[in-house]
């Protein structure tokens, strides 16, 4: 017997809304000489996973990447286009999918103490993806790329993941009413 899963209107709206939240928080950006700006994307992506869970959170992140890829200016500094996904910051954009997924998985496993560690693992995998693509495109060594586009951002990003989790606890309670 086949079961048919229906997506509720509420979850469809929430998915779209969180894709928009990622887009908006991406614009709060400080350009850096490396080409990788300081943004609130990490916070938004983690919040997306922590509030919506792994499936809808990853879908929202995917929608964000898709609308950016087709050219809408949703990426940092009001940029867009497929070239951003294959450019020096593209590895971070792809890594957002992994990060959202791992933040969302913490809801499914029901062990709240794992939420922030899973989010940080997702963040580190996102950074790894970003470093790898930056390394390939610039010809720098992996260590050089890490020093340029990852290590200076780690403290801010780890704090963003923790803050997103703490806010998500409150948001989930509000959204259940």
**Taking the domains of the chain in order of start, what are their residue ranges?**
9-176
What is the CB-side half-sphere exposure of residue 164 using CA atoms within 13 A?
Answer: 35
Q: What is the pLDDT of residue 3?
A: 57
Residue 157, pLDDT above cutoff 90: yes
Q: Which helix H or strand E contains 44, and what residues bound it?
A: helix 41-69
Given a cut of 70, whether residue 34 has pLDDT beyond it is yes
| Cα 83 from Cα 59, distance rounded (Å) | 21
Pick 128 or 176 by higher pLDDT: 128
Using one digit for the tens of pLDDT, what is the confidence trace for 120-151?
Answer: 999 999 999 999 999 999 999 999 999 999 99
CATH number of 9-176: 1.10.1760.20
Q: What is the pLDDT of residue 29?
A: 86
Provide the mean pLDDT of the chain: 94
pTM, to two decimals: 0.92
Give the residue-averaged pLDDT of 99-127. 94
């Amino acid at each position: 017997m086949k079961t048919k899963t229906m997506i509720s209107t509420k979850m469809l709206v929430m998915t779209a809304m969180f894709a928009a939240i990622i887009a908006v928080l991406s614009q709060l950006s400080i350009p850096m000489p490396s080409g990788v700006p300081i943004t609130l994307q990490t916070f938004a992506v983690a919040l997306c996973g922590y509030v919506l869970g792994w499936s809808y959170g990853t879908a929202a992140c995917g929608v964000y990447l898709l609308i950016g890829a087709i050219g809408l200016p949703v990426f940092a500094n009001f940029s867009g286009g497929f070239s951003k996904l294959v450019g020096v910051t593209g590895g971070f954009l792809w890594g957002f999918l992994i990060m959202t997924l791992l933040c969302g998985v913490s809801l499914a496993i029901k062990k709240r103490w794992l939420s922030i560690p899973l989010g940080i693992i997702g963040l580190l995998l996102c950074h790894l993806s970003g470093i790898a693509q930056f390394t390939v495109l610039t010809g720098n060594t992996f260590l050089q790329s890490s020093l340029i586009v990852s290590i200076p951002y780690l403290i801010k990003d780890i704090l963003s993941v923790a803050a997103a989790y703490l806010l998500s606890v409150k948001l989930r309670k509000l959204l259940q009413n």
